[in-house]
A = this chain, B = another copy of it.
Amino acid sequence: MARILITSGPTRQYLDPVRYVTNASSGRMGAALATAALELGHEVVIVSGPVTVDYPAGATVIPVVTTDEMLQAAVETFKQCDGAIGAAAPCDYMPRQIQTQKISKTGKPLTIELVETADVVATLGQNKRGRDRGDQPLADDRSPRRQWVVGFALETEDQRFRAIVKLERKHCDLMVSNGPSAIDAADNEVELLDPDGNVIEAIAGDKEHVARRLLAQIQQRLISS
């Protein structure tokens, strides 16, 4: 049995007390992955942005709002986990300044400077145990096992190429490549990529089916190995 961190849903980056930048991530892929992991007998902790999806009762859910909150909760949770699946779509830009009062309309354009947020999956990948010790699990049973990280890449163009670049940059063990049609949809169509850039499996169907296939691959390649 493994203890698995799943990040899920969107995050929000507020401009003022009312308005924010976000995306339409629904948490459905995260919920389906959690269900599939529980079915295999694993323990699941979900760090989730604001969603209305129902997560499975067997999972522990830590709710967050911003990307920085997701990062903090994920890093803290990951310490006690064997691996992480980054199914969330954290907002990757945030306003440089947050207005404390609602911005009033003046009739004139409003210029907003956005800066990049920290990258949740990249931070987990950089800090995973055993990253620099090669691909073999540690021989000493008293040592914590090597941790693994599976990322998701959502791109509108050059999907596979960009997913491979992200896999490498974020130190992921596997990368799931999908497109914008995945967002807030019942179905998904993904390619699962290994660190050599090979397509291990192409999976299409409802998110429950996709999640079960992904977990079967993770089980075989990262948990049982």
Q: Does A113 contact B (CB under 8 A)?
A: yes
Query: Are A19 and B23 neighbours in the complex by a CB distance under 8 Å?
Result: yes
For residue A183, which residue of chain B has the nearest CB?
B18
A111-B114, A154-B102, A156-B101 known; A19 vs B22 contact (CB < 8 Å): yes
Residues of B within 8 A of A157 (CB): 101-102
How long is the Cα–Cα vector from A101 to B156 in the complex, in angstroms? Answer: 6
Contact with B along A5-26 (1 / 0, CB 8 A): 0000000100111111111100
A140 at the interface (CB under 8 A from B): no
Question: In whole angstroms, what is the CA distance A193 to B156 when docked?
Answer: 48
- Picked from B15, B105, B109, B156, the residue with its CB within 8 Å of the CB of A21 is B15
Q: Which of A75-83, A90-98, A142-150 contacts B (4 or more CB under 8 A)?
A: A90-98
Q: Is A136 interfacial (CB-CB < 8 Å)? A: no
Q: Is the interface of A mostly helix, strand, loop or mixed?
A: loop
Partner of A114, one of B50, B101, B110: B110
Query: Among the listed B20, B93, B115, which residue makes an inter-chain contact with A22, where contact means beta carbons less than 8 Å apart?
Result: B20
Q: A22-B22, A50-B24, A93-B19 are in contact. Are A109 and B101 (CB under 8 A)?
A: no
Query: CA separation between A16 and B183, bound complex, in Å?
Result: 13
- Cβ of A134 within 8 Å of any chain B Cβ, yes or no, is no
Interface pair A102/B180, CB less than 8 Å apart? yes
Q: Taking beta carbons and an 8 Å cutoff, which residues of A are in contact with B?
A: 12, 15-24, 50, 52, 89, 91-93, 96, 101-102, 104-105, 107, 109-116, 154-157, 162, 180, 183
21 contacts between A and B (CB under 8 A): A16-B156, A18-B23, A18-B24, A18-B156, A18-B183, A19-B21, A19-B22, A19-B23, A20-B22, A20-B24, A21-B21, A22-B22, A24-B50, A52-B52, A96-B109, A101-B157, A102-B157, A104-B162, A111-B112, A111-B114, A112-B114
